[in-house]
Chains A and B, each alone.
Chain A
Amino acid sequence: MVDIPEHLLLKTAEARAKALGISVEQALAEMRGEVKPTKIEKEPDIIEVSPVEVEVKKEAPVPATEVKKEAPVPATEVKEEAPVPATEAKEAPVTITKEAPAPAPEKSNGQIPAEVDFAPETKVTQRLLTVVKAKPIQKPTSEPVDKVNTWPHLMLPEFISLMAMTAFLIFLSAILQAPLLEEANPNITPNPAKAPWYFLGLQEALSYWDPQIAGIMIPGVIGVFGFMAIPYIDRNKDNKPSKRKYAIMLYTFFLAGAGTLSIIGILFRGPGWNWTYPWIDGVWFDDLLDWVHFE
């Protein structure tokens, strides 16, 4: 439902309450769909009677959409109930009536009889039928967003995190020596020969499958072009985690797989690329030489 301003909603509810003889609160609740709309039984509300001509049963002729929907009263019914005595009409909770008894409408086929005078001068007869939401000529394309000044709200956290990073880096560099082995010698191959750590998952994968396949599939296709293509493959526009479980699951599988392979490659592979346990056989990972031989 479109957002209808509160004061108009209230006005509509008042009109409806008046028409149906219910409280304004209930009318509001009905309009919001919180309770079932009131059904009008046999007691007709007489909302207006023109001085001379017709007493109009509310449901049939009044072109109020809500009322019409609820009780499309057949024409015959109108005829039967039309000559309601004034006294009876007075009992109805919301009744605007004139004392004069009215003859039945000549032809009541559900349409408003042409000769019915709907607006006697003595009464206010307007009713709020519908609310048309005002539309601006220029449409703002974006919703207003809650913004804060970059300084200091963004720059301060940035500054703090880069300071923390610097401190951490200097601390790390002070306690952990970067490795430097013997001078390069193309004639002496170390065993095992390991790639840099971020390629070790790949190296581990290559040890299972034919290099041609693993070499082609994993880094080339999936790794680069597959990753670049992600936004064009995932056409789901939602960014709520609950709405993109499948994508999250796939990426988490990727992370878990890459992580497992890397950890195996880094810690659990020794000479001849055989399985080793770091706590029994030691670690073949020279990047962290200083740390590994710490004790």
Chain B
Amino acid sequence: MKNEKIKFRDRIKDISSGLGDSLKESTLWGSIFRPGSPFRKGYSDSPRNRSYVVMNNVLYHLHPVKVKRHGVRLSYTLCLGGLSFFTFIVLTITGIWLMFYFRPTEMAYVDIQTLQTSIAFGSLVRNMHRWAAHIMVLVVFLHMSRVFYHGAYKAPREFNWVIGVILLLLTLLLSFTGYLLPWDQLAIWAVTVGGNMASYAPVIGAQVKFALFAGLEATEATLLRFYVLHVLFLPFIIVIFMAIHFWRVRKDGGISGPL
């Protein structure tokens, strides 16, 4: 009896590993995972393959094959830049999902209510989008502070700091435009107060506010304007600046330091 059990388990194992092998040998599999991928048949852990994992992969757009040893220590970057980027990805995914259920019209408030009460995972995804937005502002700010304390803005990285400040500004603008969208009392008044503060800016403050708000105060025209900025224009711009930012990190010789 016991023996048979073992035999049965072995047979299942054989079949599954056989299936796995023939899957990995298929043309389809081999065409997806390029040489060096750990998912390819016969992968072995060698320095050459470790290089291929990055080099033969879309990852090569983000990472070089090798990085400074001190740069991979979590205690140096605290992964804050990476996490800024990652929260942005989470926000994009949850945001696109929210767009299925949201209209930037007089229906906006009702749509959010419906989303929270009658749509599967609606509440969870809305919460994730909102908390991730707050976290992103915080993490980007912390990333900036980490860069400052490491003096990582010094030559040749001066311009990447400038790009960074633009990224911080865009992050704040993304958060601010999103703030209005639920169209509740919190949204409209926070945005009104924020807009009033912007209008104090010299010379162009009032004009900027007028252009941003599509008028003198927060109305439904403002809602549409903020919506378009929030889901299309600002993400588009921030992605471009992120691309430049990451490119510069590499071209400036990778992570700064060690201290």
Contact = CB atoms under 8 A, between A and B. Distances in A.
Interface of A: 145-155, 157-158, 161-162, 165-166, 169-170, 172-174, 176-186, 188-190, 193-199, 202-203, 206, 211-212, 214-216, 219-220, 224, 227-228, 230-232, 234, 236-241, 244, 247-248, 251, 255, 286-287
Nearest to B128: A173
B6 interface: no
B157 interface: yes
A155 B79 CA distance: 11
B184 interface: yes
A219 B201 contact: yes
17 contacts: A149-B51, A149-B66, A150-B63, A153-B72, A154-B72, A155-B63, A157-B74, A158-B79, A179-B186, A180-B112, A184-B218, A193-B193, A203-B197, A224-B165, A228-B161, A228-B166, A247-B148
Contacts of B53: 150-151
Interface string B139-175: 0010001001111111101110110011011001001
Given A147-B66, A219-B197, A224-B165, A184 B109 contact: yes
Contact of B116 (A150, A170, A180, A241): A180
Contacts of A231: 153-155, 157-159, 161-162
Contacts of B197: 195, 199, 202-203, 206, 211, 215, 219
Is the contact region of chain B dominated by helix, strand, or loop, or is it mixed? helix
Interface residues of B, number: 85
Contacts of B185: 181-185, 188, 190
Given A150-B63, A231-B162, A286 B186 contact: yes
A227 B164 CA distance: 10
Nearest to B78: A161
B18 interface: no
B207 interface: no
A244 B153 CA distance: 13
B66 to A, nearest CB: 4
B105 interface: no
Interface stretch (B21-29, B82-90, B231-239): B82-90
A228 B168 CA distance: 11
Given A184-B185, A186-B188, A241-B259, A228 B162 contact: yes
Interface string B172-199: 1001100100111111111011100110
A119 to B, nearest CB: 53
A166 B68 contact: no
B259 A180 contact: no
A176 B128 CA distance: 10
Contacts of B219: 186
Given A174-B124, A198-B172, A239-B259, A180 B184 contact: yes
Interface stretch (B7-15, B129-137, B240-248): B129-137
Contacts of A190: 185, 189
A264 to B, nearest CB: 16
A147 B201 CA distance: 48
A179 to B, nearest CB: 6
A169 B205 CA distance: 36
Given A224-B169, A255-B145, A146 B69 contact: yes
B74 A147 contact: no
Contact of B154 (A169, A212, A239): A239
B175 A251 contact: no
A239 B256 contact: yes
Contacts of B135: 169
Contacts of A193: 189-190, 192-193
Nearest to A202: B197
A286 B197 CA distance: 19
A3 to B, nearest CB: 21
Contacts of A148: 66-69, 72
A83 B71 CA distance: 70
A152 B72 CA distance: 10
B68 A150 contact: no
Given A145-B68, A161-B79, A248 B149 contact: yes
B150 A220 contact: no
A170 B121 CA distance: 11
B82 A161 contact: yes
A178 B186 CA distance: 11
Contacts of B205: 215
B72 to A, nearest CB: 5
A241 B149 contact: yes
A181 B186 contact: yes
B50 interface: yes
B131 to A, nearest CB: 5
A165 B50 contact: no
A81 to B, nearest CB: 58
A251 B148 CA distance: 8
A154 B67 contact: yes
